[in-house]
Amino acid sequence: MEKMGKIFEKAKPYLGAIALRFASAGMSIISKAALNQGMNQLVTIVYRYSIGAIVVAPFAFVLDRKIRPKMTLPIFAKILLLGLLEPVIAQSLIYSGTKYTTATFATAMCNILPAFAFLMAWICRMEKVNIRSLRSQAKILGTLVTVGGAMMMTLLKGPLLSLPWTNQNNFNPHSYSTLPNKQQPVKAAIVITISSICSSAFTILLAHTIRTYPAELTLTTFICLAGAVESTILALAFEWDNPSAWALHADSILLAALYGGIISSGIAYYLQGVVVKLKGPVFVTAFNPLSMVIVAVISSFIFAETLRLGRVVGAAVIIIGLYLVLWGKSKDKFQLKNGKNNENNEELPTSIQNSTTTNQQLKPLDSTISH
């Protein structure tokens, strides 16, 4: 029994990251169906994060009462910024991007998020980068390859790929759409890229915040509450004269608000906080390609989406770049775990430096991301 407990402890961050990807895939599918039916994204964000705050608050009140730190002004400011980055800006942009294209394309484009997370972690000195180290070169090259793959997805089309079940699809894609939806992949790619930058900034800031405020459920509640208040202000500014936009009916729009509030905001933010605390911000974004596979399969059934070879190749390039970054991350962890004071096994033969001094300077920063 004790052995099983140790195995679960080691597997917990991986299971949490996988669960996040399934939750994200479900949100992508439901959001696309709701957008096709005319969902007002600003109003839906208000409902989504209000529901998230209401659902998580009782658990936070009971389970975090012994570990909840005192609220300070810097932490409050970070929570407000967290609520603005992800709930308001990133979610509004990802909804807009999904409206302009397919759910599969939008999810695949989100795979550039780990590259931006790595760059921001590097800038914030949460990632160790030594340009002469092979593992650092892999992370930098992986970031560039990921961005290149995103450009390929946007610019290349290629022939249609016929999936075996799409010709026998029993679903009618037009039944999920009441609005004309002409695809604009370039516009969608730009919007989703900006959304990914905001989401990366959210993940980095979350990693900083959770160090000083380690009550994950309470932090999730406050982020959802901040997002609800800030998105309400924005929605009222744009939809003040449109009361029909605030009406909810028993359709995919209501499902998007409920699923987004309970699963994608409440549970997912809590899981994200736990995984970030255990493994760091880059790790939690590394499982994004799993969402792309799930969404591609489900969308081909529900929306009769077709895949083009150019976009599949671009998605594959994104994944290759992503796992170059992950390989470099794994080598970072191995280096720290073994307590090595030099990098001779990983550097190119021409690199000669006083690595003992370098490692002593970088170890505190590297340990924060590994733990």
* All structural domains of the chain with their residue ranges: 12-370
Nearest to 198 by CA among 92, 50, 326: 92
Rg of the Cα trace of the chain? 21
CA distances from 129 to 137, 355, 366 (A): 8, 13, 10
DSSP H or E segment with residue 293? helix 288-302
Q: Count the neighbouring beta carbons within 10 Å of the beta carbon of residue 140.
A: 17
Contact 128, 149 (CB under 8 A): no
Note the pTM of the prediction, 2 decimals: 0.71
Q: What is the pLDDT along the chain (371 residues), one digit of tens a residue?
A: 677 777 878 888 888 888 888 888 888 888 888 888 888 888 989 999 999 999 999 999 998 988 899 999 999 999 999 999 998 999 999 888 888 887 778 877 777 777 788 788 888 877 777 778 888 888 788 878 877 877 777 677 778 776 665 554 444 444 444 444 567 888 888 998 899 899 989 988 988 898 899 898 999 999 999 999 999 999 999 888 888 888 888 788 889 889 988 998 888 888 888 888 887 776 777 777 777 777 877 777 777 667 778 878 887 887 888 778 778 777 766 665 565 444 444 444 433 344 444 444 434 434 333 33
